[in-house]
Structure 1
Amino acid sequence: MKLRIGYGFDVHRLADGHSLFIGGVKVPSEFGAVGHSDADVLLHAVCDALLGALSLRDIGYHFSDTDPAFKGIDSKILLERVFSMIKEKGYAVNNIDTTVVLEKPKLSSYIPEMQKVISTLLEVSEDCVSVKATTHETVDSFGEKRAIKAYACCLLIKK
């Protein structure tokens, strides 16, 4: 059995007048993430983890933030495309482990829905997708509610 490990990270600025999408779920909030796409920091980190596991570069390489085709795109579409690349290489997802860093709003009640979205997109059971949320304890731009970040790691298995 051939195993590959990948790691991903993403960060977005937060601002009024934007929606907050995390893990494919629209989270009610007075502010949202700013980005070329829908700025879903969690799905972007998962994309980078998957791509990194197979040395396929990063999300920006495949979906440039200067390309108008990706302006406002739903990040679930980006994850679907990345997962297609993974399957083309003969791999499947064994599991994903993620962490979102956001001071507010609290994400605990949205995590099961995020797990469902991600597991569906990656064709694994929900218990193969870990989504954790934490704060930055009011430290720096993340703790001051000016930014959001996410970390992801994955284990891929050769089919």
Structure 2
Amino acid sequence: MSEPLGPWPRVGLGFDVHPFSDDPARRLVLGGVAIEGPGLAGHSDADVVAHSVADALLGAAGMQDIGTHFPASDPALAGIDSMDILARVVLMVGSHFHIANVDAKVVLESPRLAPHRDDMQRRLSDVVGAPVAVTAKRAEGLGTIGRREGVACWAVALVVPR
């Protein structure tokens, strides 16, 4: 980790994207909440929201990215609950920084996230120990996300050195 330049807040941007899986048994998990719909393909449970939040926190702390700490090549991480990854990241970041808040934007055509948003925010906030806002946006039919081939998420995190 690079040392903070001073007592100023730091911002990190996280991103993750996963295609939908062909496996009908694969669950769709977003923000730690199981949602009706096709699951996402990935080494872990492919929770793009938890991954992007973790990536944003690591970036804000100057601790590289989620793939550095939790590589998809590690067989011990196969099928891991992404909320467990996020909890580990919070411990890493929290030893040096106070997490102020996180904002996540999920981009998908379907399913609708509005009925699950409060549960997602509650689960994420409980793990992060700070407010996490989640909103959904549509790609309006454009690109791979617009063609319903997967889900993407961007997250921004604000941390303050302890």
Number of the residue aligned with 1:20: 28
Which residue is 2:3 aligned to?
none
Q: Which residue, out of 143, 148, 152, partners 1:145?
A: 148
Aligned length: 154
Structure 2 residue corresponding to 1:5, chosen from 1, 11, 16: 11
TM-score by length of 1: 0.94
Matched, 1:104 2:110: yes
Q: Quick one: distance in 2 between partners of 1:15 and 1:64?
A: 20
Deviation of the 1:2 alpha carbon: 2.7
Does 2:94 match 1:87? Answer: yes
- In structure 1, what is the Cα distance between the partners aligned to 2:55 and 2:143? 24
| 1:129 shift after superposition | 1.5
Q: Is the 8 A contact 1:52 1:58 kept in 2?
A: yes
Q: Find the aligned partners of 1:77 and 1:12 in 2 and give their Cα distance.
A: 18
Q: TM-score, normalised by structure 2?
A: 0.92
Do structure 1's residue 156 and structure 2's residue 136 form an aligned pair? no
Q: Which of 36, 40, 53 is 1:33 aligned to?
A: 40
Gaps of 5+ in 2: 1-6
Rounded to whole Å, the distance in 1 between the matches of 2:137 and 2:39 is 17
Residue by residue over 1:102-157, the C-alpha shift from the partner in whole angstroms, topping out at 9 and shown as x without a partner, is 10100001010011001100112xxx211010111111110111111000001001
Which 4+ residue blocks in structure 1 deviate beyond 3 angstroms?
none
Identity %: 40
Which residue, out of 115, 121, 132, partners 1:115?
Answer: 121
- CA deviation string 1:8-42 (max 9, x = no partner): 0000011232211100001111x111000000000
DSSP-derived class of the 1:48 partner: helix
Which consecutive unaligned segments of at least 5 residues does structure 1 have? none
Shift of residue 158, structure 1, vs aligned partner? 2.2
1:85, distance to aligned residue in structure 2 (A) = 0.5
Q: What residue is the counterpart of 1:45 in the other structure?
A: 52
